[in-house]
Amino acid sequence: MTPRNDDATRSSSSAAGGVPPKAKDQAKKLSVKEEREARRAEKVAAHLAQQKKQQRNRRFGIIGGSVAGVLAVGLIITFVVTSAEPEVDPASIAVGDLQTYELTANHVTTSVDYEQTPPAGGDHNGVWLNCGIYSEPVPDENAVHALEHGAVWVTYDPEQVDEAGVRTLRDSLPDNYVVLSPYPGIPAPVVASAWNNQVLLDGVGDERLGDFVKKFWRSNDAPEPGAACTGGLNAPGKVA
């Protein structure tokens, strides 16, 4: 019998496919590291996916908000357009007890004896009265020139209209092309005048004042509509 060589046998076994324990440990360590890297990669991928989802949601939210905003503005515009009151033709406004005249419009340098008190037109001074609020009576001839430019002249009897009433008148009138002044001895508590037109009012609460202003304020029927109502004469007592 031939003696067995153990070293040869071990070498033969290794060559035949046996894995040394140290090599097995290294393989095992590599596998654990690879698994750790794989898990880390999965977490990174999941995080990136979550970020993309959030970005998409924000983008959709912005787009949705913009669309909703546009729709809201459109609805508001539609509501305003459809609910706004149509512009009223001044010619269609009726003013009760309206008095109308046919008056001349010459420029003069003298005082004028007017047929109406206060006047509603006629010959007048070449310098117009600046529109505004006056606490004292104003010159007729200059005020009539303001009427020629399309202003409305509201006068009140200071014996019949107190300070509160004057404030009510001021609040009810436009901010321009209006003259408001006291006028002692007029035939009504309040008189509204425009070129060739006039109405006697029962007081500061008379609703016809609003109708008169809508009908004749800056009217194209005035001889010089749209001409200046500033840059003329500031009479004494101008407060606004």
Residue pLDDT, tens place only, 188-203: 999 999 999 999 999 9
- The average confidence (pLDDT) of the chain is 83
Q: Look at residues 96, 118, 88, 120 and name the one whose alpha carbon lies nearest to residue 208.
A: 96
Return the pLDDT at 157.
98
Pair type for strands 178-182 and 132-133: parallel
Answer yes or no: is pLDDT of 144 > 70: yes
Task: Pick the more confident residue, 153 or 66.
Answer: 153
Q: Residue 99: what are its φ and ψ, rounded to 5°?
A: -110, 130
pTM of the model: 0.66
Tokens of 78: 């539609």
- Average pLDDT on 67-78 reads 54
Per-residue pLDDT at 138 exceeds 60: yes
Whether 32 shows a pLDDT value over 80: the answer reads: no
Residue 142 has pLDDT above 60, yes or no: yes
Instruction: Check residue 42 and give its pLDDT.
Output: 74
116 versus 40: the higher-pLDDT residue is 116
Residue 177 scores a pLDDT above 80 = yes
Highest-pLDDT range among 40-49, 54-63, 215-224 = 215-224
pLDDT at 63 over 70: no
Q: Using the 8-state DSSP alphabet, how is residue 23 labeled? A: H
The pLDDT value recorded for residue 80 is 44
Cβ count near 131 (within 10 Å) = 25
C-alpha span between 164 and 135 (Å, rounded): 13
Q: Which segment of 58-62, 91-95, 110-114, 174-178 scores lowest on mean pLDDT?
A: 58-62
Would you call 37 helix, strand, or coil by DSSP? helix
pLDDT (average), residues 40-48: 69
